[in-house]
Chains A and B, each alone.
Chain A
Amino acid sequence: MNALPDAEALVPRLAAELAPRVTAASAMVGLYTGGAWLAERLHAALRLEQPLGLMDIAFYRDDYAAQGLKHDPKRTRLPFAVEGRDLLLVDDVLYTGRTVRAALNELFDYGRPRSVALVVLADRGGRQLPICAQHCGAQVEVPEGMRLRLKRDPAGRLRLELERAA
């Protein structure tokens, strides 16, 4: 099994990759929880002018009928106008693509952005929808029955971890 990439090392590389495309008007939206942590780091590194947006996709998931409202949703806050905006949507792990689908639907209920680019720390493949990331830290192979998660320690350091899927 390959060792997992070092999340801390990936953050500055992603920031460097994004730097050429951001403007004063660009805005960033991080998806709870791992995507929000990553977005906080990138937002600071890129010194974006627009305040950081944070989104919970709980009300847009496609598995409500089977799972119900499982965890306590957090409040989505987008402190900028979405209309006409170039947006960077940030998540920690890209897998089936359903989370991103839900996030796009929610974003469009706020307004019509000019563009949305997807930024992820890790892509583990296994897509079930036609979704891809414009900026990706690393491709990661995940063994059957495992989940790839982003963790943050009390000092704020990020690391990728594998855990058994529920």
Chain B
Amino acid sequence: MQRNPQLNAHGELQHLLSIEGLPREILLQILDTAESFAGVTEREVKKVPLLRGKSVFNLFFEPSTRTRTTFEIAAKRLSADVINLNIAASSQSKGESLLDTVANLSAMQADLFVVRHNASGAPYLIARHVKPHEHVINAGDGRHAHPTQGLLDLYTIRHYKKDFSRLVVAIVGDVLHSRVARSLIHGLTTLGAPEVRVIGPQTLIPAGVEALGVRVFHAMRAGLEDCDVVVMLRLQNERMNGALLPSAQEFFKHYGLTAEKLAAARPDAIVMHPGPMNRGVEIDTPVADGPHSVILPQVTFGIAVRMAVMSIVAGN
């Protein structure tokens, strides 16, 4: 069995590629470190000198303004130099290969690669080929993982609910294509959440998902019953009006979060969403802007979490 490529020979985090396979202690270390960074973002000088002189390269093969921006902010708050590369995903036949791109940047003294790619596993390929002092952070690979999102979701849940060992968490929507869902599921099961549910139509629930440790629901109200945390996933445009779903309207009727459906959950349940939201498709405005919603705090926590991840890996 191959060694987990995320951990170095001492069992320390050298790359963050996926929450799956990370020991509980490392997840908690990241959350606890993020806690300390939260204080930095609240004061006037929002910087610490930890990564001064280090170069962070944002390698985004899949376009994304918000994730890239939060990584950039996080890196700058650590006093690192940030270089953004938006490389439209090109096919093999034209343009540079993935590994050639990385090799060229490596020659420019990169320390940290933040990579987003539409092919699952791309960050693993990169991590196998970087130099020992270079670190890779996965900012989302295909439908496989989005570990920093999973971590900030865990951070958010811990912030509001404190204790994972009593929680019922529901993840709703396009689980089949969701790297956010997969990462969160791994995090919750590692940290001991007793019940993690996925809710969605059969076409959007992947084969064998129960093996990840979740209960599958196709009926929203039954799935939301007694939930402490409701995580709504984004439904991408290309999934609607096709062979997976007939329309956004029908999806919203049965799986869109409204106050009426949310009433099945616990009265103090929190509502989360990785963003950006499709209002009226997966969630309606009163809930998105309502008292249960912690969607905006998620964004703030995301910066502290990414600062924590970068400072931990860059130091190992």
- By beta carbon, the residue of chain A nearest B52 is A64
The answer to whether A110 and B43 touch (CB under 8 A), given A72-B32, A74-B36, is yes
Judge whether B33 and A72 touch: CB under 8 Å.
Answer: yes
Taking a contact as CB atoms under 8 Å apart, the answer to whether A109 and B48 are in contact is yes
Instruction: Kindly list chain B residues whose C-beta atoms are within 8 Å of the C-beta of A104.
Output: none
Q: Are A67 and B315 in contact (CB under 8 A)?
A: yes
Q: Hey, which chain B residues are within 8 Å of A70, CB to CB?
A: 315
A64 CA to B44 CA, complexed, in Å: 23
Hey, which chain A residues are within 8 Å of B32, CB to CB? 72-73
Say whether B47 faces chain A, with CB atoms less than 8 Å apart: yes
> B15 to nearest A CB, angstroms?
14
| A73 and B36 contacting across the interface, CB-CB below 8 Å | yes
With an 8 A cutoff between CB atoms, is B216 at the interface?
A: no
Q: How many A residues touch the partner, as a band?
A: 20 to 34
Q: Which of A60, A69, A74, A105 contacts B315 (CB 8 A)?
A: A69
Residue B39 at the chain A interface, CB threshold 8 Å: yes
Judge whether A59 is part of the interface by a CB distance below 8 angstroms: yes
Task: Find the B residue at minimum CB distance from A56.
Answer: B36
Quick check: is A13 within 8 A (CB to CB) of the other chain? no
CB-based contact B49/A105 at 8 Å: yes
Would you give 26 A-B contacts (Cβ < 8 Å), ordered by A?
A: A56-B36, A59-B37, A59-B40, A59-B48, A60-B48, A64-B50, A64-B315, A67-B315, A68-B12, A68-B315, A69-B50, A72-B29, A72-B32, A72-B36, A73-B32, A73-B36, A74-B36, A75-B36, A75-B38, A77-B39, A106-B48, A109-B43, A109-B45, A109-B47, A109-B48, A110-B44
Q: Which residues of B contact A (CB under 8 A)?
A: 12, 29, 32-33, 35-40, 43-45, 47-50, 311-312, 314-316
Other than the given A64-B315, A105-B49, 19 more pairs (CB < 8 A) read: A56-B36, A59-B40, A59-B49, A59-B50, A60-B50, A68-B312, A68-B314, A69-B50, A72-B36, A73-B32, A73-B36, A74-B36, A75-B35, A75-B36, A75-B38, A109-B43, A109-B45, A109-B48, A111-B44
